[in-house]
Chain A
Amino acid sequence: MSTNGAAGAADGGAVFSPGAGGLADGAPSIDPFVDIRGVSKWFGDLQVLDKISLDVPEHDVVCLIGASGSGKSTLLRCLNLLEHVEEGEIVVDGQRLTHERVDVNALRRKIGIVFQAYNLFPHMTVLQNVMLSPRKALGLSRNEAEERARPLLRRIGLEAKAGEYPDRLSGGQQQRVAIVRALAMQPKLMLLDEITSALDPQLVADVLDLVRELAESGMTMIVATHEMGFAREVADKVCFLDAGCILEEGPPQQIFGEPREQRTRQFLSRVLEGGRMA
C-alpha cells in the first residue's frame, strides 16, 4: 500500500487513484479482481443470499439494482466481512476472504465501504473522522495522516469544514466526507451501499459527481443503488437482484434497454413510475 498520499495530492487526479501494489500490478492477472462463488447466507430461516456468483475485473464498476430486501446490502456487507458468509467463497485481489484464518482488519484496510446513513463519528471533527483509521489502523503519524486527509477534503470542496463536527454539515456533505474517509485508507475496492438513498434530491448530484470521478480514476467499485440513470451511465455491468439471486446481469444498455427477465422488466417499470430513472 502506497504512503505517498501527500505527493499524489499535487495533482488532483491522483488523489482518488486506488492504492498501488498487490497482485494486480504489472501484467494483467487472469483471475478477476473480485471473485464471488456460490455465496449463500441466511438470517435465521430466511435465505437472504442464494448462491450468488459474480466476477468483477479490476477498474470496473458493477452496479447492483433490485428492490429493498433483495440482498444488495447483505452482499456488500459480506464483501467487507461485516456479515459472516455461511456458504461459498469470496476472493478479492488474490486473497480468500472466506478463509477462516483471514486477517479481517488487514483485509478491510483494502476494501472501503460507504453506508446509506453516512455513519460519520459524531464526536469527532470532519478532519478527525478522515484521519482516525490512517492513524490507528495504518500507524501513520498525525502529520502524515493530515497530509493525506486535507487534499481529499480539498478535492470535495470541504477543507474549510475540516474543524466542524458532522452535525454542522448537510447530508450530502456528510456523505462526501464518508467517501473520502474510506478513500483515506487508499483502498483497492470500494463498496457503496445506497449512498444517496437518505439524501434530499438536490444533494444527490454532488455525491454522484464524486463517485463518477472515482470511477474515472480507475477505482474498482461495487455499487448498490436506486439511481438507475447513474447506474446506466457509470456501470460496466449491472446486476439485477431478486430474492437473494442475481436474476439477470449484463451491460447497462442491455439491462435497461432490453431486459430478458420478466421480473427485471417489472422492477424497472415500477422504478420508472417512481421517477427515479433520469
Chain B
Amino acid sequence: MHALHQVLHAFFNPHSYTLAMPDVWAGFQVNLRMMVIAEVLVLVLALGIAIVRGLPGPAAKPLRALAIGYADFFRGTPIIIVAFLVGFGLPGLQLGYISNRSFTTYGIIALTLVYTAYVTEVYRAGIESVHPSQRAAARSLGLSYMQAMRHVVVPQAVRRVIPPLLNDFIGLQKDTAIVSVIGVSEAALNAGQFSNRNGDFPSYVVAAVFFILITIPLARFTDHLVQQRERLERAQAF
C-alpha cells in the first residue's frame, strides 16, 4: 500500500498538474513552432536533393556525390550530436548573423538537417517507383527532363510517399524534445525544471500527453491514407 501511495503521489498528484500545466504548455508552443517550420523546410529541401540525386549524365556527378554525402552524414549522425554541432558550433564561429540566432532557430536547423536526409530517401524511393515508361512517355512528347519530372514523375511520386513521409514527421515532432539539450526552452526542458523544483513528475506526464495528443491523430491519419490507397489499388486491379 505504501508503494502505491508513493507512485500516486509522485506521478499523479492533482495539485502538481495544475501547477505544471502553464510552464509545460508555454514550452510546448515552442515545440509546435519548431515542428511546423522544420516540416515545411524539410518538404522543400528534401525534394530538391532527391531530384539532384537522380540527375542523369556525367556532368551531374559532383552534384550527385554531394547529395549522397549529405544524406549519408546526417542519417548516420545521432540527432543529439547534430544539435550540439549546430547549437554550440555555429555560435562558436562568431560569424555575425549565423552565430547570433536563438536556440530555437538552431534547434530548427538541426532538425531540418537530419530529417531532410531521411525524407530525401523517402522521395527518392517514390521517384524510383514511378515506372520508367511514364518518363519515356513524357519525354517522347517533347518535354525536357525537368518538365517531365515536374509535371509527370514528381506528382505521382509524392502521392505515393505521403504515408512514409508522415511517419517521418511523427519522428520529427517527437525529436523537437531532443533539442532541449542545447537550451531550447521547450516542453521537455520546462517539465524537467519543474520536476526538479517540485520533487515530483506530473510535469513529465503533462509533456508526454501533449506529444501524444498531436502524434496519435497524425498516426491514425497516416493509417487512413494507407488503407485508402490499398482500397484504390484493389479496385483498379479489376
Contact = CB atoms under 8 A, between A and B. Distances in A.
Q: Do A and B come from one complex?
A: yes
Interface of A: 80, 82, 105-106, 108-109, 111-113, 115, 117, 119-123, 132-133, 136-138, 167, 181-182, 185
A122 B152 CA distance: 9
Contacts, number: 61
B137 A132 contact: no
Given A115-B133, A117-B133, A167-B236, A80 B159 contact: no
Contacts of A121: 134, 137-138, 151-152, 156
Interface of B: 133-134, 136-144, 147, 151-152, 155-156, 159, 236
Residue picked from B139, B142, B151, most chain A C-beta under 10 Å: B142
Given A108-B142, A121-B138, A137-B144, 20 more contacts: A82-B139, A108-B140, A115-B133, A115-B137, A117-B133, A119-B133, A119-B136, A120-B137, A121-B156, A122-B156, A123-B155, A132-B141, A133-B141, A133-B143, A136-B147, A137-B141, A137-B142, A181-B141, A182-B140, A182-B141
Given A121-B152, A167-B236, A185 B136 contact: no
7 contacts: A108-B140, A112-B140, A112-B141, A115-B136, A132-B138, A132-B152, A137-B142
A123 B152 CA distance: 8
A136 B155 contact: no
A105 B152 CA distance: 16
A105 B144 CA distance: 6
Contact of A132 (B144, B151, B156): B151
Contact of A185 (B142, B156, B236): B142
Given A122-B156, A123-B159, A132-B151, A105 B136 contact: no
A106 B155 CA distance: 24
Contacts of B236: 167
A182 B138 CA distance: 10
Nearest to A138: B142
A82 B151 contact: no
A112 B143 CA distance: 12
Q: Which 10 residue pairs across A and B have the least CB separation, nearest first?
A: A109-B142, A133-B141, A119-B137, A137-B142, A108-B142, A113-B140, A119-B133, A123-B155, A136-B147, A80-B140
Contacts of B159: 123
Contacts of B137: 115, 119-121
A220 to B, nearest CB: 17
A133 B138 CA distance: 8
A177 B143 CA distance: 18
